[in-house]
């Protein structure tokens, strides 16, 4: 077991520098889930077969995701003396031609190029970070994603990995807490609670043992950036988890990850084995008097298990249902012991804070929302993917500058912020800052980081019906208002989209949603109908058209063929 991380890092850096100085071209293929979904593994196989058959000398590396989901599969090539050039939409057929042109013939193949990375310029190819999709981004949490092999700890060490842990182990736990406090880091799972305060509650709680849990549940539709981080840069998250354990006095940690995120699980397990070999996990980490062990728990994928107390119930072998709070997990959590639950992005940010310092982290964002936020941009948008921007960046910049707006010249109708518990905002709200506080008065939230762009072809009534269906399906059933109320809302919304709605239904929906919010135990029931309420508030004219005129302005709902409702919904009888 190696205890000298400086020596490990020196060797890793030597190997990295040798690879960078090599005259042999280097081909990087993004093989995270989004790339695999559109054929990245077939592209990788085509490149391996073609270079072998043609006798082309090169190094082929599997890397994570750059966040350019709209351009997948993404292939990057380093051919000295050019800088790295990133290419998009590289199918197996295009891959063979790309390798021939770039690697063999010395042609930069600009028609497929997205941009270059590093020093130097190639004529006709812009710098990647000066293109619209990257302009305005501040890539810190995502800094390694798409450039390193996530299966190699040496790649992470060569980029100064585990510097934050080293620094933390030379500080007192209270000093680590103070560093996180001064950074202004707020939890990135949705609530935005100050991270240092949660940690202090846990540290001050009596008794032992204490636990740290990494919440990688991420069951929100259209949100997948935590999975991307685990697939592309797992060591950064694990480093943050170790720092959290040291700060709160825990010796054991758990990663709760759904079984469906099999690639993230595979890379986490490989990373844990590498950490053990390097003395970064287990007893007396890096020679310090700090012991920490990490176990992985595969979850069944229930959405409500993203709630921290329901997640803890799962870890204890029980059905995933939220607990009554207080007491909160930092006081009474896993097996009635003090427990810190942080999500993937929060822990990755912790590693950066301890590496670069609190002031570095806090130099972007706003006064009450420091740092950056990783967001998933999807829906009717030209350039969808995973982005990272300073907190407080206006929604307009996300949608129009980075995303390119709706494709085909269509008109923007709404932006849904915050996943299934977020709200739908009209274009008049696009200048609102994307942070934890500014969106709440408008009926939306930053939430889990989903930003869904909706154009004029989308019916907001149909969208509200879909979110009501999700809310009903994912209710754990523990709370009567949530279990029965979401079913009632679903049936009324179905009546409206199918032409059986009545004007009185609109006010009834508001009353039901408010009752569910007030009577529910966890955030699912408290926020699940936010999309419906915000759509009713900002787009009531569409709902009125459905119930008064039997007309869908977007042409999505086939109201004309449905008879008017003559009786009360089934739940009312």
Q: What is the pLDDT of residues 493-511, one digit of tens each?
A: 999 999 999 999 999 999 9
Report the CATH number at residue 172. 3.40.50.11540
pTM greater than 0.85 (yes/no): yes
- Residue that terminates a domain, selected from 306, 331, 361: 361
Q: What are phi and psi for residue 500, nearest 5 degrees?
A: -110, 10
- Average pLDDT value for the chain: 92
Give the pair of three-digit tokens for residue 359. 């002031």
435 and 340 within one domain:
no
Query: DSSP 3-state assignment of 323?
Result: coil
Burial tier of 220 (Cβ tally within 10 Å: 0-12, 13-18, 19+): buried
Q: At what angle do helices 540-549 and 460-474 cross, to 10 degrees?
A: 100
In a domain, 9, yes or no: no
pLDDT of the residue at 566: 38
* Band of residue 524 on the pLDDT scale cut at 50, 70, 90: confident
Q: Select from 396, 423, 454 the last residue of a domain.
A: 454
pLDDT of residue 4: 77
Q: Give yes or no: residues 197 and 277 share one domain.
A: yes
CATH code where residue 533 lies: 1.20.1440.230
pLDDT at position 422 over 90: no
Dihedral pair phi/psi, residue 529, rounded to 5°: -105, 15
| Alpha-carbon distances, residue 223 vs 30, 220, 377, 418, 429 (angstroms) | 19, 5, 9, 9, 22
Report whether pLDDT(565) > 70.
Answer: no
Q: pLDDT tens digits, residue range 93-147?
A: 999 999 999 999 999 999 999 999 998 889 999 999 999 999 999 999 999 999 9
The Cβ-side half-sphere exposure at 438, using a 13 Å CA radius, reads 19
For residue 50, pLDDT beyond 90: yes
Query: How do beta strands 59-63 and 372-379 pair?
Result: unpaired
Distance, CA of 230 to CA of 276 (rounded, Å): 18
User: Phi/psi zone of residue 173: left (φ > 0), alpha (ψ -120 to 50 degrees), beta?
Assistant: alpha
Are 398 and 413 in a shared domain? Answer: yes
* Domain final residue pick, 361, 389, 417: 361
CATH number at residue 121: 3.40.30.10
Tally of domains within the chain: 4
DSSP 224: -
- Give yes or no: residues 534 and 424 share one domain: no
Determine how many CB atoms are found less than 10 A away from the CB of residue 244: 28
380: CATH? 3.10.20.600
CA 141 to CA 371: how far, in whole Å? Answer: 10
Tell me how many degrees the CA angle 39-118-355 measures, rounded to the nearest 5. 95
| Separation of alpha carbons 550 and 564, rounded Å | 9
Residue 375 lies in a domain: yes
Residues 199 and 300 in one domain: yes
Note whether 471 and 434 are same-domain residues. no
Same domain, 202 and 351: yes
**Which residue in this structure is represented by tokens 């595979």?**
266
Residue 570 belongs to some domain of the structure: no
Q: Note whether 421 and 497 are same-domain residues.
A: no
Tokens 């849904």 label which residue? 416
The reply to whether 522 and 558 lie within a common domain is yes
In a domain, 569, yes or no: no
Whether 380 and 435 map to the same domain: the answer is yes
pLDDT at 562 over 60: no
The residues near 418 (Cβ < 8 Å, ≥ 6 apart) are 190, 439, 444, 445, 446, 447, 448, 449, 450, 530
In a domain, 467, yes or no: yes
Q: What is the pLDDT of residue 46?
A: 98
Chain centre to alpha carbon of residue 121: 32
What whole-number distance in Å separates Cα of residue 60 and Cα of residue 71?
A: 20
Residues of the domain holding 436: 366-454
- Give the whole-angstrom CA distance, residue 305 versus residue 326: 18
- Is 303 part of a structural domain of the chain? yes
CB 165 within 8 A of CB 280: yes
Structural domain includes residue 49: yes
- Same domain? For 256 and 323 the reply is yes
Tally of helices (H runs) and strands (E runs) in the chain: 21, 14
Q: Are residues 314 and 208 in the same domain?
A: yes
Q: Which percentage of the chain shows pLDDT scores above 90?
A: 80
The length of the chain, given as a count of residues: 573
In a domain, 466, yes or no: yes
pLDDT digits (tens, 9 = 90+) for 162-218: 999 999 999 999 999 999 999 999 999 877 899 999 999 999 999 999 999 999 998
pLDDT for residue 1: 46
Contacts of 208 (CB under 8 A, 6+ apart): 249, 337
């Amino acid at each position: 077991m190696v205890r000298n991380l400086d020596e490990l890092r020196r060797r890793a850096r030597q190997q990295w520098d040798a690879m960078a100085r090599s005259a042999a071209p280097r081909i990087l293929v993004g093989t995270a889930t989004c790339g695999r979904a559109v054929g990245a593994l077939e592209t990788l196989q085509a490149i391996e077969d073609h270079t072998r058959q043609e006798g082309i000398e090169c190094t082929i590396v599997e890397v994570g995701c750059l966040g350019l989901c709209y351009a997948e599969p993404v292939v990057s090539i380093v051919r000295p003396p050019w800088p790295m050039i990133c290419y998009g939409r590289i199918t197996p057929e295009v891959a063979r031609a790309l390798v021939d042109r770039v690697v063999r013939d010395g042609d930069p193949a600009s028609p497929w190029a997205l941009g270059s990375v590093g020093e130097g310029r190639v004529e006709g190819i812009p710098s990647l970070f000066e293109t619209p999709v990257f302009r305005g981004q501040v890539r810190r949490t995502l800094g390694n994603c798409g450039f390193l092999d996530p299966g190699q700890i040496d790649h992470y060490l060569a980029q100064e990995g585990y510097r934050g842990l080293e620094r933390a182990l030379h500080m007192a736990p209270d000093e680590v807490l103070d560093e996180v406090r001064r950074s202004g880091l707020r939890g990135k799972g949705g609530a935005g609670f100050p991270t240092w305060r949660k940690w202090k509650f846990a540290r001050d709680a009596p008794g032992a043992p204490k636990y740290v849990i990494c919440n990688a549940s991420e069951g929100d539709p259209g949100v997948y950036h935590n999975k991307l981080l685990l697939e592309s840069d797992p060591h950064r998250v694990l480093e943050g988890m170790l720092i959290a354990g040291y700060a709160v006095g825990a010796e054991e940690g758990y990663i709760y990850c759904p079984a469906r995120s099999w690639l993230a699980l595979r890379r986490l397990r490989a990373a844990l084995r590498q950490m053990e070999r390097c003395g970064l996990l287990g007893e007396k980490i890096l020679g310090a008097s700090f012991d920490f062990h990490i176990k992985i728990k595969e979850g069944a994928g229930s959405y409500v298990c993203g709630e921290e107390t329901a997640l803890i119930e799962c870890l204890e072998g029980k059905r995933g249902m939220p607990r009554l709070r207080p007491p909160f997990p930092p006081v009474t959590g896993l097996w009635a012991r003090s427990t810190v639950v942080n999500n993937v992005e929060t822990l990755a940010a912790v590693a950066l804070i301890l590496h670069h310092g609190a002031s570095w982290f806090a130099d972007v964002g706003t006064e009450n929302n420091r740092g950056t936020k990783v967001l998933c941009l999807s829906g009717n948008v030209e350039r969808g993917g995973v982005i990272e921007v300073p907190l407080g960046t206006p929604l307009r910049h996300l949608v129009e500058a980075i995303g390119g707006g709706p494709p085909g010249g269509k008109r923007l109708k709404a932006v849904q912020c915050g996943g299934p518990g977020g709200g739908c905002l009209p274009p008049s709200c696009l200048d609102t800052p994307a942070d934890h506080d500014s969106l709440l008065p408008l009926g939306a939230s930053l939430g889990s980081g989903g930003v869904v762009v909706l154009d004029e072809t989308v019916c907001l009534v149909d969208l509200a019906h879909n979110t009501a269906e999700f809310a009903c399906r994912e209710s754990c059933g523990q709370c009567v208002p949530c279990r029965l109320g979401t079913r009632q809302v679903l049936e009324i919304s179905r009546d409206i989209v199918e032409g059986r709605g009545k004007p009185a239904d609109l006010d009834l929906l508001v009353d039901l949603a408010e009752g569910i919010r007030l009577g529910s135990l966890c955030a699912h029931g408290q926020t699940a109908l936010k999309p419906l309420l915000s759509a009713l508030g900002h787009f009531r004219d569409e709902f009125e058209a459905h119930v008064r005129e039997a007309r869908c302005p977007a042409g999505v709902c086939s109201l004309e063929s449905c008879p008017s409702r003559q009786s009360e919904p089934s739940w009312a009888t």
